[in-house]
Chain A
Amino acid sequence: MAGVPSKLRYRPFNLGRWLTWGLTALVMVVLPQIFTQGYAITLMSQMGIMIVFALSYNMLLGQGGMLSFGHAVYSGLGAYVAVHILNLAGAGKIWMPLSLLPLVGGLGGAFFGVLFGYVTTKRAGTTFAMITLGIAVLVDTWATMSRAFFGGEQGVSTDRVIGKPFLGITYGPGVQVYYLIAVWCLVSMALMYAWSHTPLGRIANAVRDNPERAEFIGYDTQRVRWFTLIISAFFAGISGGLSTINFEIVTPDVVSLSASGGVLLATFIGGIGFFFGPILGAVVFSFFAVALSNYTNAWQFYLGLFFVLMVMYAPGGIASIIVMQLQLIARKRFWRIAPHYLAAGASGLVLLAALILTVEMTYQLSENSANGTVMNLFGVNFDCAKALPWAVAVGLWIVGGILFNLARQRVARVWGEIQTELLQARA
């Protein structure tokens, strides 16, 4: 392997890989021992579900280059299949241990992947995106029309405590469900990682990058996309099965366009270019959706803004930002730029405060006005009908804007300097 200095490439060696997986598992085991509140367990459970979902979505978007607006069709239908099977098992009509229910969801997802995927994967690119949108709307409409399978507006509810306890595990308490989710999450992560190193996974990359050439080395690109989608739908279905267990209810919302949009947001924010990107994205997304939504009704606004900013300024997502910093650290240049990061971060916080203040006050005035105009933000009580808080907001915008712009220019300059240095060092 002469020629290319191996330091230039980011390639985790095997020991590192074992360490990474071991640590991930350890974190998953230990977390609920530290954060024992029911609320934290809920958050972590949802993160686990979302991780599986986002990783499955990235098999399409990141690995296969397929932008789908309807991935929730597979997780959602998987959830429905799972809930019906669980109800049958609960009624004693079939034998089905709860621990294996996610697999049922996965098979359900894969089944619909075979069905719908055959249609959608005939084409690629923008056309693929639009067909998925069409299918998603069809399924969504179907869900609101058909009572038998989808249970109408209320959906289908269930009880996850079935059969006799096994080793004291009933799956009644949330923490037991968390561990079930954690196990499935870890297994799914490992399998999806393994998938990216199989012939099909690699050819999916090839079809993403150059579909025409792939046809001339023997591959039917439609098949490659289809099979990739089926496997992706399988894992999406597993996440659906997990959510059935977690929430004990499945409503038509699970197949909605907004659910599909959510996973797209999560995956992209995390970063589609690296395997671990969607994991980060799922964590951030769940944090927005579960934690932040307790504090503000405008959480989707913040999420949307975050997403748009990412598309504009960091299309590689959080993962690529992290990897870039790791490369700087590896080449001993990080500390030179760190102070400027700090400055940008601090002034960014001022801007964030300005944003939050503006948004929350607007929201109070429009939607929440029935509760008066007095509100509380960060522990401070004030009346948003008065001029002062607005003046503060404007002040924060101006100060933050100026400072941030200065810091941003510094960061850009130093970054440029470092890059030229590294290039020269290579030559």
Chain B
Amino acid sequence: MNAHALELKAVSKSFGNTAIIRGVDLAIAQGERHALIGPNGAGKSTLFNLISGRYPVSGGKILLNGDSITGLKPFEINRKGLSRSFQITNIFQRMSVFENLRCAVLWSLGYKYSFWHQLKELKDANRSAEEVMEAIGLKGRRDTPAGVLSYAEQRALEIGITIAGGAGVILLDEPTAGMSRTETADAVELIRKVSQGKTLIMVEHDMGVIFDLADRISVLVYGELIASDKPENIRGNQAVQEAYLGTEAH
């Protein structure tokens, strides 16, 4: 596979008259771990929403493994192998942890809309769900309704649902936001583990996490990419210092 895992060409988005994303070009190689950073309101989540099909783009093109996914619906994009998590936890609150994960693996295992299989006989689906549950450390909470989990556990489940389907390209929107130091460390390990052999794009504010995980970093400011480079170069980049690190970082 020579094509980029994900490629954005002059992608733009306006809400009404306000341009939120202004011509973003970005290419992400297969297997790369990419971090997207930028000040609050820069448009990072919006960019994720465009890539994953939640909103239609106002202009430009998006390619996944070389194929255009511009204008496709979220479920179509997901079926092509791109999966995302949400900044604001977005899980099936009334279902148990296990059910959440099992739902997330059903489509990719080919069960689709089947009404002729009994769930408990689907060995592969149950095994995948158990494995993901193990990986995100929620084995002890198997039958707990997702809605009553602690915040950190819900964040872990959010990641679990995102990766369970086995998508090759994974977008994580602020996976560690609001976590304590130890929780963050656990989450980083988790992300490292589950993104093995996959392409990862991650919005993150925690510089420690970013420099720990990312192969490359892109900086989004007011809807424009002002830099996209290796971590050590980003650290030294003057424009980034001014626009972002200078004001926000520690």
Residues of A participating in the B interface, judged by any CB pair closer than 8 Å: 1-4, 6, 9, 194-195, 197-203, 205-206, 209-210, 212-220, 223-224, 227, 231
Known contacts: A206-B103, A209-B93, A219-B107. The answer to whether A198 contacts B141 by CB under 8 A is no
**Most chain A beta carbons < 10 A, residue from B73, B79, B113, B165:** B113
B143 and A210 within 8 A (CB):
no
- In the A-B complex, the 5 residue pairs with the smallest Cβ-Cβ separation, listed nearest first, are A218-B107, A3-B140, A215-B74, A199-B111, A200-B115
User: What are 17 A-B contacts with C-beta separation under 8 Å?
Assistant: A1-B143, A4-B142, A198-B117, A206-B92, A209-B92, A209-B95, A210-B91, A212-B90, A213-B92, A215-B78, A216-B78, A216-B90, A217-B106, A218-B75, A218-B106, A218-B108, A227-B113
Q: Which of B53-79 contact A (CB under 8 A)?
A: 73-75, 78-79
- A200 and chain B: residue at smallest CB distance: B115
Residues of A within 8 Å of B115, CB to CB, are 195, 198-201, 227, 231
Known contacts: A209-B95, A218-B75. The answer to whether A200 contacts B113 by CB under 8 A is yes
Residues of A within 8 Å of B90, CB to CB, are 210, 212-213, 216
- Give the distance in Å from the alpha carbon of A373 to the alpha carbon of B86 in the complex: 69
- A201 and chain B: residue at smallest CB distance: B115
Known contacts: A3-B141, A198-B119. The answer to whether A213 contacts B95 by CB under 8 A is no
- Give the distance in Å from the alpha carbon of A201 to the alpha carbon of B120 in the complex: 13
- Give the distance in Å from the alpha carbon of A202 to the alpha carbon of B113 in the complex: 10
A199 and B95 within 8 A (CB):
no
- B119 and chain A: residue at smallest CB distance: A197
- Give the distance in Å from the alpha carbon of A3 to the alpha carbon of B120 in the complex: 22
> Secondary structure at chain B's binding surface: helix, strand, loop or mixed?
loop
- Give the distance in Å from the alpha carbon of A206 to the alpha carbon of B161 in the complex: 12
Residues of A within 8 Å of B84, CB to CB, are 216
Residues of A within 8 Å of B73, CB to CB, are 215, 220
A205 and B95 within 8 A (CB):
yes
- A194 and chain B: residue at smallest CB distance: B118
Interface: B52 (CB within 8 A): yes
- Give the distance in Å from the alpha carbon of A209 to the alpha carbon of B92 in the complex: 6
A17 CB → nearest B CB, Å: 12
- B77 and chain A: residue at smallest CB distance: A216
**Most chain B beta carbons < 10 A, residue from A195, A220, A223, A224:** A220
**Most chain B beta carbons < 10 A, residue from A195, A210, A214, A223:** A210
Interface: B99 (CB within 8 A): yes
- Give the distance in Å from the alpha carbon of A197 to the alpha carbon of B114 in the complex: 11
**Most chain B beta carbons < 10 A, residue from A195, A199, A203, A231:** A199
Report, as a range, how many residues of chain B touch the other chain: 35 or more
Residues of A within 8 Å of B106, CB to CB, are 199, 202-203, 217-218
Known contacts: A1-B143, A209-B92, A223-B113. The answer to whether A217 contacts B107 by CB under 8 A is yes
Residues of B within 8 Å of A224, CB to CB, are 113
Interface: B191 (CB within 8 A): no
- Give the distance in Å from the alpha carbon of A209 to the alpha carbon of B99 in the complex: 12
Q: Which of B131-151 contact A (CB under 8 A)?
A: 139-144
B81 CB → nearest A CB, Å: 10
B148 CB → nearest A CB, Å: 10
The contact string, 1 if C-beta is below 8 Å from chain A, for chain B 84-112, is 10100011111100010011101110011
Partner of B165, one of A1, A203, A205, A217: A217
Residues of B within 8 Å of A218, CB to CB, are 75, 78-79, 106-108, 165
- B121 and chain A: residue at smallest CB distance: A197
- Give the distance in Å from the alpha carbon of A203 to the alpha carbon of B83 in the complex: 18
- A195 and chain B: residue at smallest CB distance: B115
B103 and A4 within 8 A (CB):
no
Interface: B116 (CB within 8 A): yes
- Give the distance in Å from the alpha carbon of A195 to the alpha carbon of B116 in the complex: 8
A199 and B74 within 8 A (CB):
no
**Most chain A beta carbons < 10 A, residue from B95, B115, B116, B165:** B115
- Give the distance in Å from the alpha carbon of A197 to the alpha carbon of B92 in the complex: 17
A216 and B114 within 8 A (CB):
no
- Give the distance in Å from the alpha carbon of A356 to the alpha carbon of B92 in the complex: 45
A220 and B141 within 8 A (CB):
no
B94 and A209 within 8 A (CB):
yes
A4 and B144 within 8 A (CB):
yes
A216 and B74 within 8 A (CB):
yes
B141 and A203 within 8 A (CB):
no
B118 and A203 within 8 A (CB):
no
B139 CB → nearest A CB, Å: 8
Residues of B within 8 Å of A231, CB to CB, are 115
Residues of A within 8 Å of B117, CB to CB, are 198-199
B116 and A198 within 8 A (CB):
yes
Residues of A within 8 Å of B99, CB to CB, are 202, 205
A216 and B83 within 8 A (CB):
yes
- Give the distance in Å from the alpha carbon of A217 to the alpha carbon of B90 in the complex: 12
B103 CB → nearest A CB, Å: 5
- B102 and chain A: residue at smallest CB distance: A202
Residues of A within 8 Å of B95, CB to CB, are 205-206, 209
- Give the distance in Å from the alpha carbon of A198 to the alpha carbon of B120 in the complex: 9
A217 and B78 within 8 A (CB):
yes
A61 CB → nearest B CB, Å: 15
